[in-house]
Amino acid sequence: MNFRILFIILCYFYSSTANAQLTNLKFENFGTNEGLSSSTCVELFQDREGVLWIGTNDGLNKYDGYNFEVYRPIPGDINSISNNRINTIIEDFNNNLWIGTDDGLNVLNKEKNKFFRIPLSQDDLHKVVVYDLFFDELTSFLWIATNNGVSKIVLKASFEPNSLNIERYKNNSNDNNSISQNNITSIQNDLDNQLWFVSNDQYLNKYNAKNNNFTRYLITQHSTKDFDHLPKATMVDSDGDFWIGNNLSHLVYWDTKRNEFETISIVDKDITIFDIYQDSKGLIWIATDGDGIYILDKKTREINHILNSKSNPFSLPNNQPSKIFEDQKGIFWIASYNKGISKLVLSKSYFGHYFHQANKKDGLSDKIGQAVLEDSSKRIWIGTRKWRIKPF
């Protein structure tokens, strides 16, 4: 799959591209000054009630559209969350919220506003890091990806946190139908409702429900260009194809219908991938470490690139987005390292926005505009506080 970069840098207040919704982007940022518990956020989830939940490295945050409520561990309180570092969030059919942390699994009863800690380890010697969660509505299974294998919990209508039946799956060197390794970082659900478990090695692990075991699929384009110390971002798109990788110069695309793996080199240098996300229109968003966001159109093979601009207060707040999410209303939320979360309403991009930018001749001369006039030649004249007139 040969993608070509259009070199459309969307960090400025105007850009000439055919796709109007991807120009003139305006990001609204929320950080610690607005009540967020940490400027480093790695997870975003919206529950059935429309509430946004944010996982940070300093607690779980609940955002109702107006205020943030923060949940942190409370010493001596077993009904508080177990750890500050929140990695993954999911909701079950009872509207309970399941939260994976750097120290175990938690479930939040939202009606009682009370946490229960779920023991995943069979002993107290191993700290269990929960990387990902998936709730299968067809089977009522909760799947848990951890640093110590995979766990499965059968959820029932009457929830009893102290009597859960937990089944565990681990690598067995003598069994090729066991998971390929115990460090499982992601769970993917394909179009046939088949579950895939992603590890840090060169395999994808497909769960076989009939036999209650796994089939390993070798990622044939796996190479030394991958960052083996980092988890692979993985996404199954609306065509059922896989996008796999943690390096923007070596992104693996698996065409499942042809059963062919291809390498996509979006850039010619090593750039870490944090997240791969497909929106409701089919565009693929890639969040990177230090190089902003890339938006891929699978059909046209075009790529847009979004970067932070220091002179534009409405641009992406920095170039380290960690997670991308589109909510029920089509609003995009971008989590980041060091800059909290950002809200992006694409409909606002229909409106051009002209403002003062220091040392730029094509902007307004001052931050405050006070008068607007259209002359007989259809030119727009804008008067600013400093009484300088700018024609457009």
Per-residue pLDDT of 21-69, as tens digits, reads: 566 799 999 999 999 999 999 999 999 999 999 999 999 999 999 999 9
- Which pLDDT belongs to residue 389? 53
* Domains of the chain by start residue, with CATH: 4-353 (2.130.10.10), 355-392 (no CATH)
Confidence band, pLDDT 50/70/90 cuts, at residue 151: very high
Q: Hey, what are 31's tokens? A: 């950080």
Per-residue pLDDT of 218-260, as tens digits, reads: 998 655 556 566 789 999 999 999 999 999 999 999 999 999 9
The pTM assigned to this predicted structure is 0.86
Q: Are the C-beta atoms of residues 366 and 48 closer than 8 Å to each other?
A: no
- Which pLDDT belongs to residue 286? 98
47 sits in which H/E element: none
- Which pLDDT belongs to residue 385? 66
- Which pLDDT belongs to residue 343? 98
Distances in Å between the Cα of 65 and the Cα atoms of 94, 116, 293, 340 are 23, 26, 25, 15
Asked if pLDDT for residue 313 goes beyond 60, the answer is yes
Exposed / middle / buried, residue 33 (Cβ in 10 Å: 0-12, 13-18, 19+): exposed
Range from 273-277, 305-309, 343-347, 387-391 carrying the lowest mean pLDDT: 387-391
Per-residue pLDDT of 93-149, as tens digits, reads: 999 999 999 999 999 999 999 999 999 987 766 799 999 999 999 999 999 999 999
